[in-house]
Structure 1
């Protein structure tokens, strides 16, 4: 669910969000994947943390630049040490 109006504006912010989600700090259960997506109703872009049923566990809005340039980061994960 996206109920946080903050927007991830940079690739560094996206990287930090992905590392936080991956580390377990967010307390999400059954995490199976991450995707960049478009909200059907509004057309806004977001990063989605998905469970093993492809259901949205957590989402954060992203800027258009992050959506366009963050595909590899979401696909391949962070290059930073974990």
Structure 2
């Protein structure tokens, strides 16, 4: 799994991460979506950056608080202005 070791601990950090994805700052090609998910191996929550055919392009671990409360932010995207 392509998940880096950084952990998003707050909703503000989640929003900043989404802004990086939306602005193209991470250099990912073919991004088609973002989702909150849990690892099949240990149940640990993460934010998944998805490409076409729903393949994982990049993942970043999130705290349980972010997983429980960040669904609307992920669904609606970053509210930061470019």
Task: Sort the TM-score into its range (normalised by shorter chain).
Answer: over 0.9
- Per the alignment, residue 54 of structure 1 pairs with 54
- Tell whether 2:74 aligns with 1:74: yes
Q: Which runs of 5 or more residues in structure 2 are unaligned? A: none
Q: Which runs of 5 or more residues in structure 1 are unaligned? A: none
- Equivalents in 2 of 1:35, 1:6: separation in Å? 17
Counting only pairs closer than 5 Å after superposition, residues 1-82 of structure 1 correspond to structure 2 as 1-2=2-3, 4-82=4-82
Alignment length (residue pairs)? 81
SS state at 1:78 partner: coil
TM-score (norm 2): 0.95
Q: Could you say what the CA RMSD is over the residues aligned between the two structures, in angstroms?
A: 0.7
C-alpha displacement of 1:6: 1.6
Runs of 4+ residues over 4 Å off in structure 1: none
- Equivalents in 2 of 1:78, 1:46: separation in Å? 17
- Which structure's residues are more often strand, by fraction? 2
TM-score (norm 1): 0.95
